[in-house]
Structure 1
Amino acid sequence: MSILHRTRRNAPIIPPAHTATADPVSSGEARPESAPRAVSATRTSTVWASVWAVAIILIAVIVFILQNTRSVQVSFLGMHGALPLAVGLLIAMVAGAVVTLVLGTARITQLRRLARRRR
């Protein structure tokens, strides 16, 4: 049950006025709605939930960086250097995300072209 439909704990429970002993279908009356409609999600509520999720993820990233400050040696394509472990892992994560996004975008574009040709 959603927050909007909860009642106070000490409030008296009053039965709805539309309850009757006779079957409303057989007597020709319209059947009332039995359950309240769910509140649909809005763009604002979606953005609000997204902001909270991003904030929690960023807090986790900050904790990760603070716990992994030890410097490590890195070699990549002939380049050598030292950087904190957390920074190296975050760079690897971002590079992996970029490769995934590029390949996913190429596949989506391919499927859209195919769908457009079939129309």
Structure 2
Amino acid sequence: MTTPRDEDRTDAIPAAPIPDGPPPVGNLPTTPEPTPATRPADTPVPTGTGRSTHTRKPRPTRISGTWVAVLASIVVLIILLVFILQNLTGATIHFLGIATTLPLGVAMLFAAIGGAVVVALVGAARILQLRRQAKRGQH
């Protein structure tokens, strides 16, 4: 008695197509490109090397963040320079009994710096407060 081979059987399940390209990296899921046998007729044929189109986006680093901050700072400084150069009209400033004349742009820059210092001090005080609370919670 002969047994039919698996290739000759009509009820055999066809094997899944093997995807082209390199094996998946890490835990990233890859979607194999359809083979000509499984691709619908109206789907365009992919071109290229047959590699997976999934690319891993690099994670931001501290250096890249610093670089972006430096570029943003340069832009802000250029804007401040233009502002100061366009506001050179003298303005009399009175503070704690002292009167002085400064260019308007410089006086406004000093005011902005003073405001930033106040905000930084309040933020630093809050950070210290949260650190103390966290330290007490650990012990």
The normalised TM-score by structure 1 is 0.70
Shift of 1:46: 1.8
**Aligned counterpart for 1:106 among listed residues 115, 125, 128:** 125
The reply to whether residue 19 of structure 1 matches residue 33 of structure 2 is yes
How many angstroms apart in 2 are the aligned matches of 1:19 and 1:81? 74
Aligned residue for 1:118, secondary structure, equals helix
State the partner residue of 1:5.
none
Q: Please give the root-mean-square deviation of Cα atoms over the aligned residues, in Å.
A: 2.0
The reply to whether residue 56 of structure 1 matches residue 70 of structure 2 is no
Shift of 1:50: 1.5
Give the AA of the match of 1:52: L
How many angstroms apart in 2 are the aligned matches of 1:45 and 1:110? 30
State, as a whole percentage, how many aligned pairs show the same letter.
43
Shift of 1:52: 1.0
Gaps (5+ residues) in structure 1?
1-15, 23-32
Shift of 1:48: 1.8
Q: How many residues are matched?
A: 94
The normalised TM-score by structure 2 is 0.61
Within-5 A mapping of 1:86-97: 86-97=105-116
The reply to whether residue 43 of structure 1 matches residue 67 of structure 2 is no
Structure 1 residue ranges, 4+ long, deviating more than 3 angstroms after superposition: none
How many angstroms apart in 1 are the aligned matches of 2:67 and 2:126? 30
Give the AA of the match of 1:79: I
How many angstroms apart in 1 are the aligned matches of 2:109 and 2:74? 17
How many angstroms apart in 2 are the aligned matches of 1:114 and 1:34? 48
How many angstroms apart in 2 are the aligned matches of 1:91 and 1:111? 30
How many angstroms apart in 2 are the aligned matches of 1:67 and 1:115? 49
Gaps (5+ residues) in structure 2?
1-18, 21-31, 39-51
How many angstroms apart in 1 are the aligned matches of 2:100 and 2:66? 40
